[in-house]
A and B are shown apart, each in its own frame.
Chain A
Amino acid sequence: MDLIWDGITEAVRLIFSGDKEVAEIVFLTLRVSGAATVLATVIGVPLGAVLGVWQFRGRGLLISIVNTGMGAPPVVVGLVVMIMLWRSGVLGGLNILYTPWAMVFAQALIALPIVIGFSMAAIAGIDPAFRQQMLALGASKSQALYVMVLEARLAILAAVMAGFGAVISEVGAVMMVGGNIKGETRVLTTATVLESSRGEFGTAIALGAILLMLAFVVIATLTIVQQRARIR
């Protein structure tokens, strides 16, 4: 019990003392997970829309791949990205292994199937006649798709939240491709793991609490946006 109590007091102290190292970790976490989510959204929403609406050869296979990807263990994704980014790997020339870029890349890859999968379900939930009506009003195929994305915007926002939630709480991939280098690639999850393995439970609990708060603030903001956008 003492351990936990000490941890909590240490957490409060760390949070309110404005510790420079903690602040750096928080900002990096937000930047990496935020960038990964944006990347996954920009690529994933259109792909999800196409998969949800258009019929084409190989669609079933793609959907299976996406569904599998939604449940892919982050550590496996991390491993694959690491192999790709190795000097001898296919993307070795980029020379970004153990940098925040590698972490963004890996996290985007984790969030992507989640964003695609949820977007696809959101768009597929719209009455097919709605698309027909848009075409009947003179929409091109891509315009019809765009209107459908707008129509499913609330559910798509949920897809984005799910993607963000998955990557900000993920530790395996960032650890592997970032290396948890102090001041460079250390984020909240990897720092928490490190501190607890060193027996610094106070710091670990503080970092965990900050992570939880961060996730809460971001998701709560998105939820408020979502609720406001409901039918007025």
Chain B
Amino acid sequence: MSESPTVELIDVKVWKNRRLILDVPALNLPAGETFSVIGPNGAGKTTLLRIISLLDRPQSGQVFHDGEMINSGRDTLKRRRQLAMVMQNPLLRNASVWENVLTGHRFRHTPREVASNKVGEWLERLGISHLADRNARRLSGGEAQRVNMARGLVLEPDMLLLDEPFNGLDQPTRLGLMDDLWQILQEIQTTTVLVTHDRAEAQALSSRVAVMLDGKVEQIGDPEAVFTAPDTEEIANFVGVENILAGEVIESGDGLTTAAVGEGVITLDGQYLPGEELLLGISPEAVVIEDPSGLGSTASVRNRISGVVSRVFEMGAQARVVVDCGFPLVSLISGGSAEDLRLSPGVQVVASFKASAVHVIRNGEASESTTDRP
């Protein structure tokens, strides 16, 4: 495999129907990394992917591949053939699985024997060798998606672009494919851009995450940072930091701060000025729910707040519990624990979370609205 490229976008803008749908002042994708782009539907993720993959050209701005600006049509085709993009829907040809996976090599006029060997190898690696002679239109959703991926991977591209590859798959199929893809990405070490609206996929597969909202890349960082310490309220909302609370600093000292939130008090890490307004984010996963009678395992935790369960949503193996602690606090716990605690509206509980689990989204002078940007 040739050396992986670096992609760089500068001042890229795309308009559709006079609306700015993509606005990326600067974006750099180093070689070898798995980069995820997450964001809600319509945020411009696919548009960004199409620009990176040279399928579309931005109305303004520059796209560099490997330090070279891609301008002419001939350059574009040459470069495109070093990339492979796998689209959301596995739109397979009305032909055998083998023929489908061979398609990209046919376009590249790869010598027959070389291409055949690669197709055989990748069918094997994706566990679909037994389907080789089957018509691709006669496959299940999961099988079709594997064929879809195989026809991209078989090209052994410098850069792999995946647009929502797990969309529309049932959970077991999705997890199986995600596992296999993770394994393959580890092995091939190819620069990969994964577009998804699913936080778990981004977290599981990538080393860096970009959050896109409304055509703009709002935050880039390692998944841990983005998902636990979002830069803005909008990002926090999107990445599932459901507890976004406005507070006011009561006192601060020894690296700890207490802030009044609603009718309650929260302790967090860091030094802030008394009276300072804070916007705090707490991931629901970080909030533990306990029986008030037991001492529990969280006795040493800074924030232990009594409250009353106001709502419980069962979601398969998990339960989302909203506790009224003087302010609403959302907790994500296992369905088993919810059952053990006999959680239902009106039940008294203790909600606890570490001071370090409280992330300051914004601090500063008192502001009128909580949606203002810093």
Q: Which residues of A contact B (CB under 8 A)?
A: 127, 129-130, 132-140, 143, 147, 150-151, 231-232
Query: Which one, A129, A135, A140, A151, contacts B93 given CB within 8 A?
Result: A151
Closest chain A residue, CB of each to CB of B82: A138
Complex-state Cα separation, A135 to B83, whole angstroms: 11
**Interface contact A136-B53, CB-CB below 8 Å:** yes
Given contacts A147-B93, A150-B93, A231-B135, contact A134 B87 (CB under 8 A): no
A136: chain B residues within 8 A (beta carbon): 53, 55, 80, 84-87, 161
Complex-state Cα separation, A132 to B87, whole angstroms: 9
**Interface contact A130-B155, CB-CB below 8 Å:** no
Closest chain A residue, CB of each to CB of B93: A151
Q: Give the shortest distance, in Å, between B91 (CB) and chain A (any CB).
A: 4
A132: chain B residues within 8 A (beta carbon): 55, 87
Query: Which one, B77, B86, B95, contacts A140 given CB within 8 A?
Result: B77
Complex-state Cα separation, A133 to B155, whole angstroms: 14
Binary per-residue interface labels of chain B (167-180) against chain A in the complex, 1 for a CB within 8 Å, 0 otherwise: 00000000000000
Query: Which one, A127, A129, A137, A231, contacts B103 given CB within 8 A?
Result: A137
**Interface contact B87-A232, CB-CB below 8 Å:** no
Q: Which residues of B contact A (CB under 8 A)?
A: 53, 55, 77, 80-81, 83-87, 89, 91, 93-95, 103-104, 107-108, 135, 137-138, 151-152, 155, 161
Q: Give the shortest distance, in Å, between A8 (CB) and chain B (any CB).
A: 45
Closest chain B residue, CB of each to CB of A147: B93
Main secondary structure of the interface of A (DSSP, over half): helix
Main secondary structure of the interface of B (DSSP, over half): mixed
B94: chain A residues within 8 A (beta carbon): 151, 231
Complex-state Cα separation, A89 to B80, whole angstroms: 50
**Interface contact A137-B77, CB-CB below 8 Å:** no
Complex-state Cα separation, A102 to B213, whole angstroms: 65
**Interface contact B91-A135, CB-CB below 8 Å:** no
**Interface contact B137-A231, CB-CB below 8 Å:** yes
B81: chain A residues within 8 A (beta carbon): 138
**Interface contact A129-B104, CB-CB below 8 Å:** no
B155: chain A residues within 8 A (beta carbon): 137-138
Complex-state Cα separation, A140 to B161, whole angstroms: 18
**Interface contact B103-A134, CB-CB below 8 Å:** yes
B152: chain A residues within 8 A (beta carbon): 137
Q: Give the shortest distance, in Å, between B102 (CB) and chain A (any CB).
A: 10
Known contacts A133-B91, A136-B80; 20 further A-B pairs (Cβ under 8 A): A130-B91, A132-B87, A133-B85, A133-B87, A134-B103, A136-B53, A136-B84, A136-B85, A136-B87, A137-B84, A137-B107, A138-B83, A138-B84, A138-B104, A140-B107, A147-B103, A150-B93, A151-B94, A231-B135, A232-B135
**Interface contact B91-A138, CB-CB below 8 Å:** no
